[in-house]
Copies of this chain bind each other. A is one copy, B any other.
Amino acid sequence: MQHFSSLHKIFEEQFVKTEFPSEPKNLYDACNYFLQLGGKRIRPVCVLMGNELFDDIDPDAFEVANAIELFHNFTLLHDDIMDQAPLRRGMQTVHTKYNEATALLAGDVMLVKAYECLTKIKTEHLKKILFLFNKTAREVCEGQQLDMDFAQKAASGEKMIHVNFDEYLHMITLKTSVLLAASLQMGAMLGGAGLGNQQHIFEFGKKLGIAFQVQDDYLDAFGDPGKFGKQAGGDILANKKTFLLIHALEALPVEGRKQLEDLMDNDDDNKVKKVLQLFNDCKAGEWAQSLKEKYFKEAMTHLENIAVTSVRKNELEALAMYLLQREH
């Protein structure tokens, strides 16, 4: 098994060669512009790691990895339109730099391109990979719809609507975790893994994805802004649903909950500070850390249960540690 960084390098070298046609120029310039903004490439590298857990990397894994990364970028392009986001990775979003029609079409054509990559794989692999890819793609769209529904309700002028923990977890699972999970499973499929092992690696990815999102929500509120590279309390200012907010609304006593709802419904110069105080009142930070720990442990149990020698699992374990900022 190779380390994430080695596989990342190998992935990147062949991914930059992904070629779009030259015409129509606006359409494919927009695609190339967006792809060169970069990214951590965690999902496509997970295809390679999932494959290598069971066998030498099959050349098909690179096509699947490319498809996964193109799919991920398709979702980002369309999410940016829906969120009316001006920036992505510190650079102009496509709908800002070009226009909305071009961003929409660049996303569409990137999804088609993902299927073009998949179509190149060996016939023996094609149907089962497509089946999981389609299912995952549908679920990611469903997750984004739920996210929009939650935000829509919050912005509709009514009092903030209540989204409970299970609903939020379901949305996050669809929107972010299943793609990581399916990336690992597709790699495992190409490596000849049996159904039981495929299920375990899928669950490993899913739990890891949830733990990562809990951490993301936590760091937005309590992280070091310099280190984290995002605006502190950005989610709070945007009234974004997070694990912390969901928990606080459920855990605070009536009075605290009312204060929190008022802060979400109205502007307040000290909004971030006041919301953080309420989070502290109900120990939302500690709660989130233990929730992250719970999902991390569940992920590791699934990794342990995969029937390959444990030394082969070292690199996936290291990746989980790295993603969740753990040192041991």
Residues of A within 8 A of B (CB): 21, 23-24, 26-27, 78, 81-82, 99-102, 104-105, 107-109, 111-113, 115-116, 119, 123, 126-127, 130-131, 134, 137-138, 141-142, 144-146, 148-149, 152
Contact indicator B145/A116 (Cβ below 8 Å): no
Q: Which of B23, B105, B149 contacts A144 (CB 8 A)?
A: B105
Cα distance A78–B134 when bound, in Å? 20
Q: Which of B102, B109, B113, B145 contacts A26 (CB 8 A)?
A: B145
Contact indicator A130/B141 (Cβ below 8 Å): no
For the residues of A in contact with B, the DSSP-based class is helix
Contacts of A102 in B (CB 8 A): 145, 148
Contact indicator B134/A112 (Cβ below 8 Å): yes
Q: Which of B27, B116, B119 contacts A142 (CB 8 A)?
A: B27
Contact indicator B131/A119 (Cβ below 8 Å): yes
Contact indicator A109/B138 (Cβ below 8 Å): yes
Contact indicator B123/A138 (Cβ below 8 Å): no
Cα distance A104–B99 when bound, in Å? 15
**Given A102-B148, A126-B127, A148-B102 in contact, is the A109-B141 Cβ separation under 8 Å?**
yes
Contact indicator A24/B146 (Cβ below 8 Å): yes
Give the shortest distance, in Å, between A290 (CB) and chain B (any CB): 30
Contact indicator A145/B105 (Cβ below 8 Å): yes
Give the shortest distance, in Å, between A305 (CB) and chain B (any CB): 29
**Given A100-B82, A102-B148, A145-B24 in contact, is the A108-B111 Cβ separation under 8 Å?**
yes
Cα distance A101–B78 when bound, in Å? 9
Contacts of A141 in B (CB 8 A): 27, 105, 108-109, 112
Q: Which B residue sits closest to A147, measured CB to CB?
A: B101
5 contacts between A and B (CB under 8 A): A99-B152, A104-B104, A111-B111, A113-B138, A116-B138
Contacts of A144 in B (CB 8 A): 105
